[in-house]
Amino acid sequence: MLSFLIEKESFYESLNRANKMLSKVKSNLFISPGVLLKLRDNNLHIYATDMDSWFIQSMPIYEGTDGQVFIPIKEIISLLKNLKVPSLRIVENESTITLKGDNIKSEYEVNKFNIEEFPDEPKYDIEGGITVDLKEFSKNLDIVKWCAAKDDQRIFLNGVYIHGGNGRLNFVASDGSILGRTSSMKFDGDINIIIPNYMVDIIRTLNEGSALMKVENGNLYINTVYEPVSITLIVRLIDAEYVNYQDYIPTEFVAGISINRDEILYSLERIMPFLPETGEITVEIQGNILRISTISAKGKGFEEMEGQGFGNISLKCMGTHIREIIRKIDDENVDIKISGESTPILISPTGRDDTLFLTVPLV
Protein backbone atom coordinates (compact mmCIF):
# COMPACT_ATOMS: atom_id res chain seq x y z
CA MET A 1 0.00 0.00 0.00
CA LEU A 2 1.01 3.60 -0.59
CA SER A 3 3.18 5.39 1.97
CA PHE A 4 5.53 8.36 1.68
CA LEU A 5 7.34 11.21 3.43
CA ILE A 6 7.11 14.55 1.65
CA GLU A 7 7.88 18.24 2.12
CA LYS A 8 4.69 19.56 3.67
CA GLU A 9 4.44 23.05 2.19
CA SER A 10 4.81 21.96 -1.45
CA PHE A 11 2.23 19.23 -0.91
CA TYR A 12 -0.16 21.69 0.73
CA GLU A 13 0.21 24.26 -2.08
CA SER A 14 -0.36 21.56 -4.70
CA LEU A 15 -3.57 20.45 -3.03
CA ASN A 16 -4.73 24.07 -2.87
CA ARG A 17 -4.17 24.47 -6.61
CA ALA A 18 -6.11 21.29 -7.31
CA ASN A 19 -8.92 22.40 -5.02
CA LYS A 20 -9.35 25.64 -6.95
CA MET A 21 -10.30 23.55 -9.95
CA LEU A 22 -12.60 21.21 -8.03
CA SER A 23 -14.34 24.06 -6.23
CA LYS A 24 -15.14 25.72 -9.57
CA VAL A 25 -16.82 22.64 -10.99
CA LYS A 26 -18.01 20.68 -7.97
CA SER A 27 -21.68 20.95 -8.97
CA ASN A 28 -20.83 19.15 -12.22
CA LEU A 29 -18.74 16.36 -10.73
CA PHE A 30 -19.83 12.78 -11.14
CA ILE A 31 -17.16 11.57 -8.74
CA SER A 32 -16.39 12.35 -5.11
CA PRO A 33 -14.60 15.70 -4.51
CA GLY A 34 -11.07 14.51 -4.10
CA VAL A 35 -7.73 13.86 -5.77
CA LEU A 36 -5.89 10.73 -6.78
CA LEU A 37 -2.42 10.32 -5.25
CA LYS A 38 -0.16 8.01 -7.23
CA LEU A 39 3.42 7.28 -6.18
CA ARG A 40 5.93 5.85 -8.61
CA ASP A 41 9.67 6.26 -9.22
CA ASN A 42 10.08 8.45 -6.10
CA ASN A 43 7.63 11.02 -7.45
CA LEU A 44 4.16 11.79 -6.17
CA HIS A 45 1.56 12.56 -8.84
CA ILE A 46 -1.64 14.40 -7.87
CA TYR A 47 -4.60 14.14 -10.24
CA ALA A 48 -7.72 16.30 -10.13
CA THR A 49 -10.45 16.20 -12.78
CA ASP A 50 -13.99 17.31 -13.59
CA MET A 51 -14.26 14.45 -16.12
CA ASP A 52 -13.43 16.86 -18.99
CA SER A 53 -10.31 18.74 -17.90
CA TRP A 54 -7.36 17.64 -15.75
CA PHE A 55 -4.98 19.27 -13.28
CA ILE A 56 -1.89 17.07 -12.85
CA GLN A 57 1.01 17.86 -10.51
CA SER A 58 4.20 15.92 -9.81
CA MET A 59 6.82 16.38 -7.12
CA PRO A 60 9.65 14.39 -5.51
CA ILE A 61 9.30 12.66 -2.15
CA TYR A 62 11.87 11.92 0.55
CA GLU A 63 11.02 8.20 0.74
CA GLY A 64 8.05 5.97 0.08
CA THR A 65 6.36 2.86 -1.25
CA ASP A 66 4.59 2.91 -4.62
CA GLY A 67 0.81 2.80 -4.73
CA GLN A 68 -2.26 4.92 -5.31
CA VAL A 69 -5.15 6.22 -3.23
CA PHE A 70 -8.22 8.41 -3.83
CA ILE A 71 -8.58 10.91 -0.97
CA PRO A 72 -10.96 13.76 -0.02
CA ILE A 73 -9.35 17.16 -0.49
CA LYS A 74 -11.24 19.63 1.69
CA GLU A 75 -10.48 17.90 4.99
CA ILE A 76 -6.82 17.34 4.10
CA ILE A 77 -6.27 20.99 3.18
CA SER A 78 -7.92 22.15 6.40
CA LEU A 79 -5.68 19.85 8.41
CA LEU A 80 -2.44 20.81 6.64
CA LYS A 81 -3.16 24.53 6.96
CA ASN A 82 -2.71 24.29 10.71
CA LEU A 83 0.01 21.61 10.75
CA LYS A 84 3.24 23.55 11.29
CA VAL A 85 5.85 20.97 10.31
CA PRO A 86 8.55 20.82 7.62
CA SER A 87 7.60 17.34 6.41
CA LEU A 88 4.56 15.09 6.39
CA ARG A 89 4.17 11.32 6.43
CA ILE A 90 1.14 9.68 4.79
CA VAL A 91 0.41 5.96 5.12
CA GLU A 92 -2.45 4.11 3.44
CA ASN A 93 -4.48 1.69 5.55
CA GLU A 94 -7.33 -0.64 4.65
CA SER A 95 -10.05 2.03 4.62
CA THR A 96 -8.21 5.20 5.72
CA ILE A 97 -5.00 7.15 5.33
CA THR A 98 -2.92 8.23 8.30
CA LEU A 99 -1.34 11.69 8.30
CA LYS A 100 1.38 12.59 10.73
CA GLY A 101 3.72 15.55 10.91
CA ASP A 102 7.32 14.49 11.25
CA ASN A 103 8.72 14.78 14.81
CA ILE A 104 5.39 15.71 16.45
CA LYS A 105 2.81 13.59 18.26
CA SER A 106 -0.23 14.70 16.24
CA GLU A 107 -1.78 11.95 14.11
CA TYR A 108 -4.98 11.85 12.02
CA GLU A 109 -6.90 9.26 10.05
CA VAL A 110 -9.04 10.26 7.07
CA ASN A 111 -11.45 7.93 5.28
CA LYS A 112 -10.52 7.07 1.69
CA PHE A 113 -12.77 7.26 -1.35
CA ASN A 114 -13.37 4.24 -3.57
CA ILE A 115 -10.47 4.27 -6.02
CA GLU A 116 -12.55 2.48 -8.66
CA GLU A 117 -14.64 5.65 -8.87
CA PHE A 118 -11.71 7.68 -10.20
CA PRO A 119 -11.29 7.71 -14.02
CA ASP A 120 -8.15 6.55 -15.80
CA GLU A 121 -5.61 9.34 -16.05
CA PRO A 122 -5.01 10.71 -19.55
CA LYS A 123 -1.93 10.24 -21.66
CA TYR A 124 -0.33 13.48 -22.73
CA ASP A 125 2.74 14.76 -24.53
CA ILE A 126 3.21 18.45 -25.24
CA GLU A 127 6.60 18.34 -26.90
CA GLY A 128 6.70 20.73 -29.82
CA GLY A 129 4.43 23.28 -28.14
CA ILE A 130 4.89 27.03 -27.94
CA THR A 131 6.40 28.93 -25.01
CA VAL A 132 4.36 31.75 -23.43
CA ASP A 133 4.85 34.08 -20.49
CA LEU A 134 2.25 33.05 -17.90
CA LYS A 135 2.04 36.44 -16.21
CA GLU A 136 1.27 38.19 -19.50
CA PHE A 137 -1.10 35.42 -20.61
CA SER A 138 -3.02 35.56 -17.32
CA LYS A 139 -3.17 39.36 -17.41
CA ASN A 140 -4.78 39.31 -20.84
CA LEU A 141 -7.30 36.68 -19.73
CA ASP A 142 -8.20 38.83 -16.74
CA ILE A 143 -8.85 41.90 -18.90
CA VAL A 144 -11.63 40.25 -20.93
CA LYS A 145 -12.80 37.21 -18.96
CA TRP A 146 -15.58 39.04 -17.12
CA CYS A 147 -17.28 39.87 -20.44
CA ALA A 148 -17.98 36.20 -21.23
CA ALA A 149 -21.43 34.70 -20.79
CA LYS A 150 -22.09 32.33 -17.90
CA ASP A 151 -24.57 29.84 -19.37
CA ASP A 152 -25.64 31.02 -22.80
CA GLN A 153 -27.25 28.66 -25.32
CA ARG A 154 -24.77 30.04 -27.84
CA ILE A 155 -21.99 27.93 -26.38
CA PHE A 156 -19.17 29.87 -28.04
CA LEU A 157 -20.03 32.84 -25.78
CA ASN A 158 -19.37 30.81 -22.61
CA GLY A 159 -15.63 31.24 -22.82
CA VAL A 160 -12.66 33.32 -23.90
CA TYR A 161 -11.77 33.16 -27.59
CA ILE A 162 -8.03 33.22 -28.30
CA HIS A 163 -6.59 33.52 -31.79
CA GLY A 164 -3.44 34.71 -33.49
CA GLY A 165 -3.27 37.51 -35.99
CA ASN A 166 -0.95 40.29 -37.17
CA GLY A 167 1.84 39.10 -34.88
CA ARG A 168 -0.39 39.30 -31.80
CA LEU A 169 -2.41 36.99 -29.60
CA ASN A 170 -6.02 38.21 -29.39
CA PHE A 171 -8.17 37.55 -26.32
CA VAL A 172 -11.91 38.10 -26.85
CA ALA A 173 -14.97 37.56 -24.65
CA SER A 174 -18.61 38.59 -24.97
CA ASP A 175 -22.04 37.83 -23.57
CA GLY A 176 -23.84 39.46 -26.50
CA SER A 177 -24.34 42.82 -24.79
CA ILE A 178 -20.72 43.61 -23.95
CA LEU A 179 -17.45 42.65 -25.63
CA GLY A 180 -13.83 42.91 -24.58
CA ARG A 181 -10.76 42.40 -26.75
CA THR A 182 -7.08 42.79 -25.98
CA SER A 183 -4.12 42.00 -28.20
CA SER A 184 -1.09 43.39 -26.41
CA MET A 185 0.72 40.03 -26.35
CA LYS A 186 3.20 39.38 -29.18
CA PHE A 187 2.67 36.02 -30.88
CA ASP A 188 3.80 34.52 -34.17
CA GLY A 189 2.14 31.10 -33.97
CA ASP A 190 -1.18 29.71 -35.14
CA ILE A 191 -3.93 29.22 -32.56
CA ASN A 192 -7.74 29.38 -32.64
CA ILE A 193 -9.45 28.17 -29.46
CA ILE A 194 -12.25 28.90 -26.98
CA ILE A 195 -11.42 28.26 -23.32
CA PRO A 196 -14.47 27.55 -21.08
CA ASN A 197 -15.13 30.39 -18.67
CA TYR A 198 -14.69 28.32 -15.51
CA MET A 199 -11.32 27.01 -16.70
CA VAL A 200 -10.07 30.55 -17.35
CA ASP A 201 -10.03 31.06 -13.57
CA ILE A 202 -7.90 27.93 -13.17
CA ILE A 203 -5.41 29.02 -15.82
CA ARG A 204 -5.16 32.42 -14.15
CA THR A 205 -3.83 30.74 -10.99
CA LEU A 206 -0.72 29.90 -13.05
CA ASN A 207 0.60 33.43 -13.32
CA GLU A 208 4.34 33.10 -12.87
CA GLY A 209 7.20 32.03 -15.12
CA SER A 210 6.88 30.52 -18.57
CA ALA A 211 4.82 27.61 -19.83
CA LEU A 212 4.77 25.28 -22.79
CA MET A 213 1.39 25.21 -24.56
CA LYS A 214 -0.02 22.94 -27.22
CA VAL A 215 -3.46 22.46 -28.79
CA GLU A 216 -4.33 18.94 -29.84
CA ASN A 217 -7.42 16.71 -30.08
CA GLY A 218 -9.74 19.43 -28.76
CA ASN A 219 -7.58 20.10 -25.69
CA LEU A 220 -5.27 22.87 -24.57
CA TYR A 221 -2.19 21.45 -22.81
CA ILE A 222 -0.22 23.72 -20.49
CA ASN A 223 2.96 22.63 -18.75
CA THR A 224 4.95 24.69 -16.25
CA VAL A 225 7.16 24.22 -13.19
CA TYR A 226 6.81 25.79 -9.76
CA GLU A 227 9.84 24.26 -8.08
CA PRO A 228 9.79 21.53 -7.00
CA VAL A 229 6.36 20.88 -8.56
CA SER A 230 5.78 20.15 -12.25
CA ILE A 231 2.26 21.11 -13.38
CA THR A 232 0.26 19.99 -16.41
CA LEU A 233 -3.18 21.44 -17.05
CA ILE A 234 -5.35 19.80 -19.71
CA VAL A 235 -8.31 21.96 -20.71
CA ARG A 236 -11.18 20.57 -22.77
CA LEU A 237 -11.94 23.37 -25.22
CA ILE A 238 -15.36 24.55 -26.39
CA ASP A 239 -16.03 22.88 -29.71
CA ALA A 240 -17.64 25.73 -31.63
CA GLU A 241 -16.83 28.50 -34.08
CA TYR A 242 -16.63 32.00 -32.66
CA VAL A 243 -18.64 34.76 -34.30
CA ASN A 244 -16.71 37.23 -36.48
CA TYR A 245 -16.60 39.84 -33.73
CA GLN A 246 -14.58 42.30 -35.82
CA ASP A 247 -17.70 43.01 -37.88
CA TYR A 248 -19.26 44.60 -34.78
CA ILE A 249 -16.43 47.03 -34.00
CA PRO A 250 -17.51 50.50 -35.20
CA THR A 251 -15.09 52.66 -37.16
CA GLU A 252 -17.12 55.85 -37.60
CA PHE A 253 -18.43 57.95 -34.72
CA VAL A 254 -20.87 60.83 -34.23
CA ALA A 255 -19.47 61.82 -30.82
CA GLY A 256 -16.60 61.02 -28.54
CA ILE A 257 -14.42 62.24 -25.73
CA SER A 258 -11.02 61.54 -24.19
CA ILE A 259 -11.29 61.76 -20.40
CA ASN A 260 -9.10 61.15 -17.37
CA ARG A 261 -9.54 57.53 -16.32
CA ASP A 262 -9.53 58.10 -12.56
CA GLU A 263 -11.90 61.05 -12.78
CA ILE A 264 -14.59 59.10 -14.61
CA LEU A 265 -14.05 55.99 -12.47
CA TYR A 266 -14.53 57.90 -9.22
CA SER A 267 -17.61 59.59 -10.69
CA LEU A 268 -19.07 56.22 -11.61
CA GLU A 269 -18.31 54.80 -8.16
CA ARG A 270 -20.15 57.72 -6.55
CA ILE A 271 -23.18 57.31 -8.76
CA MET A 272 -23.50 53.52 -8.41
CA PRO A 273 -25.56 53.52 -5.15
CA PHE A 274 -28.32 55.45 -6.94
CA LEU A 275 -28.77 53.11 -9.90
CA PRO A 276 -32.32 51.86 -10.55
CA GLU A 277 -33.04 48.13 -10.77
CA THR A 278 -32.44 48.31 -14.51
CA GLY A 279 -28.89 49.51 -13.79
CA GLU A 280 -29.08 52.29 -16.35
CA ILE A 281 -27.25 55.60 -16.45
CA THR A 282 -27.49 58.44 -18.93
CA VAL A 283 -24.29 59.37 -20.75
CA GLU A 284 -24.19 62.71 -22.53
CA ILE A 285 -21.41 64.21 -24.61
CA GLN A 286 -21.52 67.86 -25.59
CA GLY A 287 -18.23 68.82 -27.19
CA ASN A 288 -15.61 68.78 -24.43
CA ILE A 289 -18.13 68.00 -21.66
CA LEU A 290 -19.09 64.53 -20.43
CA ARG A 291 -22.11 64.15 -18.14
CA ILE A 292 -23.35 61.01 -16.44
CA SER A 293 -26.52 60.85 -14.39
CA THR A 294 -29.06 58.43 -12.93
CA ILE A 295 -32.32 58.51 -11.02
CA SER A 296 -34.15 55.90 -8.97
CA ALA A 297 -36.31 55.45 -5.88
CA LYS A 298 -33.10 55.87 -3.83
CA GLY A 299 -32.42 59.35 -5.23
CA LYS A 300 -30.45 60.76 -8.12
CA GLY A 301 -26.87 61.49 -9.05
CA PHE A 302 -25.20 63.79 -11.54
CA GLU A 303 -21.55 64.13 -12.55
CA GLU A 304 -19.92 66.48 -15.07
CA MET A 305 -16.32 66.46 -16.21
CA GLU A 306 -14.23 68.00 -18.97
CA GLY A 307 -12.08 66.32 -21.59
CA GLN A 308 -11.21 66.55 -25.28
CA GLY A 309 -14.37 65.80 -27.22
CA PHE A 310 -16.44 66.24 -30.34
CA GLY A 311 -20.10 65.91 -31.30
CA ASN A 312 -23.29 65.88 -29.25
CA ILE A 313 -25.28 62.85 -28.12
CA SER A 314 -27.23 61.53 -25.14
CA LEU A 315 -28.08 57.88 -24.52
CA LYS A 316 -28.69 55.34 -21.78
CA CYS A 317 -26.43 52.36 -21.01
CA MET A 318 -25.61 49.90 -18.25
CA GLY A 319 -23.72 51.70 -15.50
CA THR A 320 -22.05 48.54 -14.24
CA HIS A 321 -20.71 47.78 -17.72
CA ILE A 322 -19.12 51.21 -18.02
CA ARG A 323 -17.59 50.99 -14.55
CA GLU A 324 -16.10 47.53 -15.08
CA ILE A 325 -14.66 48.57 -18.42
CA ILE A 326 -12.96 51.62 -16.91
CA ARG A 327 -11.61 49.45 -14.08
CA LYS A 328 -9.90 47.17 -16.60
CA ILE A 329 -8.10 50.04 -18.32
CA ASP A 330 -4.88 51.08 -16.57
CA ASP A 331 -3.96 54.03 -18.77
CA GLU A 332 -4.17 57.66 -17.66
CA ASN A 333 -6.91 58.56 -20.16
CA VAL A 334 -9.71 56.64 -21.85
CA ASP A 335 -11.62 57.26 -25.08
CA ILE A 336 -15.40 56.94 -25.19
CA LYS A 337 -16.67 56.90 -28.78
CA ILE A 338 -20.30 56.63 -29.83
CA SER A 339 -21.36 55.62 -33.33
CA GLY A 340 -25.11 56.11 -32.82
CA GLU A 341 -28.03 55.84 -30.41
CA SER A 342 -28.50 52.10 -31.01
CA THR A 343 -25.03 50.93 -32.03
CA PRO A 344 -22.12 49.83 -29.79
CA ILE A 345 -20.25 52.29 -27.61
CA LEU A 346 -16.49 51.83 -27.96
CA ILE A 347 -14.23 52.43 -24.94
CA SER A 348 -10.45 52.08 -25.10
CA PRO A 349 -7.22 53.50 -23.71
CA THR A 350 -6.50 56.84 -25.38
CA GLY A 351 -4.12 56.48 -28.31
CA ARG A 352 -4.14 52.65 -28.27
CA ASP A 353 -6.03 50.10 -30.32
CA ASP A 354 -4.75 46.89 -28.73
CA THR A 355 -7.44 46.91 -26.03
CA LEU A 356 -11.06 47.86 -26.52
CA PHE A 357 -14.51 47.24 -25.11
CA LEU A 358 -17.96 47.48 -26.67
CA THR A 359 -21.22 47.89 -24.80
CA VAL A 360 -24.70 48.24 -26.27
CA PRO A 361 -26.89 51.27 -25.43
CA LEU A 362 -30.26 50.67 -23.80
CA VAL A 363 -33.06 51.56 -26.18
pLDDT value of position 88: 93
Band of the pLDDT at 247, cuts 50, 70, 90? Answer: very high
Confidence check: pLDDT of 207 > 60: yes
pLDDT value of position 104: 75
Confidence check: pLDDT of 126 > 80: no
Confidence check: pLDDT of 29 > 60: no
The mean-pLDDT minimum among 123-137, 193-207, 217-231 falls in 123-137
Residues 3-117, CATH architecture: Roll (3.10)
pLDDT value of position 28: 52
Burial of 277 (0-12, 13-18, 19+ CB in 10 A): exposed
Question: Which CATH code is given to the segment(s) 131-208+237-246?
Answer: 3.10.150.10
Mean pLDDT, residues 21-40: 79
pLDDT value of position 330: 92
pLDDT value of position 253: 96
Question: Which CATH code is given to the segment(s) 249-359?
Answer: 3.10.150.10
Confidence check: pLDDT of 320 > 90: yes
Band of the pLDDT at 46, cuts 50, 70, 90? Answer: very high
Give the global pTM.
0.91
Mean pLDDT, residues 107-135: 88
Mean pLDDT of the chain: 92
- Ranges for all domains in the chain classified under CATH 3.10.150.10: 3-117, 131-208+237-246, 249-359
Nearest to 131 by CA among 199, 186, 182: 186
Confidence check: pLDDT of 60 > 60: yes
